[in-house]
């Protein structure tokens, strides 16, 4: 989950004045056909970046269209997806749990779950990188070979990003010394405490401010946006990332940006069979409302349609969202090819799941997850 610094978070909280179920107001704009009168959005927990961003956008939609919006917060990925799956929520605002759910991995590698057929409407780019100390002498990903890399226990969302970045230069966990810490915050503090050499982090993580101010200093490893082989290696692990030049973050300024990777957080998500008119209208309303929330905090500018209406994401875009992007001239053949491949992967995994379960009945959850990872790799290799 992306974290803003305290000033940015407070700015968002101050701007997001909508109540959990705000009353309908006079419309400032013509309401797009298909936009419901009442919506429930499943979000990250109260106080999270995703929650306050959703609140700011909900406030703009309420003022513009009179749509009543209720936010349904949850502290877990499963807890955010259940209301969507059960039809209680119109959309879910998700992070990498969407990738895990659509592929049936980690928390979703159980008989009750398996691969889920989900789609996105849009998603804000969030930056992520490998951070080291300025004193370390580490300059490139290749320099991490044999170095201590911090991982957080039971945090697959961060771990998969670090694994993917190592893979950009052909490295795996076997090529580094994995140091495990109880939490994501502990991995970042470990650099200042001399317990690790590198960690994966959102560039806005407040926990890094101590490192920046310390004698050790802070440095972000660069990811060359033109290194096609590196990006190909990354896409083989998880096709979620794209090049991003970040100018907001700890140790980063507009005058001193850094090339890192972008993923999408939060992603506005629906089930695959959601009403296309609703998803079209939602994206249109979000786009039209942009001037009313873009100044809430610097990060909100990234909800602009040219950044939030692009691939890749953790799941393919819904047909209604694609229709709107086509209408405004922002859908390319390359994006369609990516979307088609993503749909094909998810549908192939869903089709294979019942027979896989039958062949692996009675095994433990851990054994089931391990067997599914093998089967999933085989399926993806055939696509």
In the predicted structure, residue 3 carries a pLDDT above the cut 60? no
In the predicted structure, residue 16 carries a pLDDT above the cut 90? no
For residue 30, count CB atoms less than 10 angstroms from its CB and return exposed for 0-12, middle for 13-18, buried for 19 or more.
Answer: exposed
pLDDT band at 29 (very low <50, low <70, confident <90, very high): confident
Note the Cα 219 to chain centre separation in Å.
Answer: 23
The stretch 114-134 carries a mean pLDDT of 97
Residue 68 backbone phi and psi in degrees, to 5:
-85, 130
In the predicted structure, residue 84 carries a pLDDT above the cut 50? yes
**Which pLDDT does position 28 carry in this prediction?**
64
pLDDT > 70: what percent of the chain? Answer: 93
Q: Which of 206, 307, 294, 295 is closest to 263 using CA atoms? A: 307
pLDDT tens per residue across span 320-370: 999 999 999 999 999 999 999 999 999 999 999 999 999 999 999 999 999
In the predicted structure, residue 299 carries a pLDDT above the cut 80? yes
Fold of 6-125+265-344: D-Maltodextrin-Binding Protein; domain 2 (3.40.190)
The stretch 1-26 carries a mean pLDDT of 44
pTM higher than 0.75 for the full model?
A: yes
Range with the poorest average pLDDT among 19-33, 47-61, 307-321, 325-339? 19-33
Q: Can you name the residues that pair with 149 across neighbouring β-strands?
A: 178, 198
| Token reading at 158 | 């961060």
pLDDT > 90: what percent of the chain? Answer: 84
**Which pLDDT does position 27 carry in this prediction?**
61
Q: β-strand 38-44 against 91-94: which pairing, if any?
A: parallel
In the predicted structure, residue 151 carries a pLDDT above the cut 90? yes
In the predicted structure, residue 25 carries a pLDDT above the cut 70? no
Residues of the chain with CATH 3.40.190.10: 6-125+265-344, 128-262
In the predicted structure, residue 15 carries a pLDDT above the cut 70? no
**Residue entry with tokens 């771990």:** 159
Going by the DSSP 8-state scheme, the letter that residue 31 receives in this structure is P
pLDDT band at 24 (very low <50, low <70, confident <90, very high): very low
| Token reading at 198 | 């590198």
* CATH architecture, domain 128-262: 3-Layer(aba) Sandwich (3.40)
The stretch 187-210 carries a mean pLDDT of 94
């Amino acid at each position: 989950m992306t974290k803003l610094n305290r000033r940015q978070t407070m700015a968002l909280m101050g701007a997001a004045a909508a109540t959990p179920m705000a009353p309908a107001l006079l419309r400032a704009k013509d309401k797009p056909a298909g936009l419901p009168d009442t919506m429930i959005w499943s979000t990250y927990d109260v106080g999270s970046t995703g929650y306050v961003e959703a609140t700011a956008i909900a406030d703009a939609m309420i003022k513009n269209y009179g749509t009543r919006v209720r936010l349904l917060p949850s502290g877990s990925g499963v807890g955010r997806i259940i209301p969507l799956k059960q039809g209680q929520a119109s959309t879910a605002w998700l992070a990498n749990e969407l990738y895990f759910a659509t592929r049936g991995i980690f928390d979703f590698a159980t008989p009750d779950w398996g691969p889920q057929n989900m789609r996105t409407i849009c998603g804000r780019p969030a930056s992520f990188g490998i951070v080291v100390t300025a004193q370390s002498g580490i300059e490139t990903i290749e320099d991490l070979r044999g170095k201590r890399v911090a991982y957080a226990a039971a945090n697959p969302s961060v771990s998969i990003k670090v694994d993917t970045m190592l893979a950009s230069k052909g490295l795996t966990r076997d090529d580094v010394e994995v140091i495990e810490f109880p939490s994501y915050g502990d991995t970042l503090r470990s650099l200042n405490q001399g317990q690790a050499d590198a960690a994966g982090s959102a560039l806005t993580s407040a926990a890094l401010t101590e490192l920046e101010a310390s004698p050790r200093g802070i440095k972000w490893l660069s990811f060359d946006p033109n290194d096609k082989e590196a990006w190909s290696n990354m896409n083989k692990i998880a096709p979620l990332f794209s090049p991003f030049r970040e100018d907001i973050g700890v140790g980063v300024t507009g005058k001193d940006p850094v090339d890192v990777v972008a993923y999408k957080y939060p992603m506005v998500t629906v089930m695959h069979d959601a009403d296309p008119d609703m998803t079209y209208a939602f994206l249109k309303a979000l786009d039209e409302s942009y001037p009313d929330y873009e100044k809430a905090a610097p990060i909100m500018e990234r909800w602009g349609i040219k950044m939030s209406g692009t691939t890749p994401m953790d799941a393919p875009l819904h047909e209604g969202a694609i229709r709107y992007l086509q209408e405004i001239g922002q859908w390319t053949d390359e994006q369609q090819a990516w979307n088609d491949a993503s749909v094909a992967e998810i549908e192939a995994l869903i089709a294979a799941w019942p027979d896989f379960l039958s062949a692996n009945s009675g095994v433990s959850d851990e054994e089931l997850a391990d067997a599914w990872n093998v089967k999933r790799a085989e399926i993806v290799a055939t696509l």
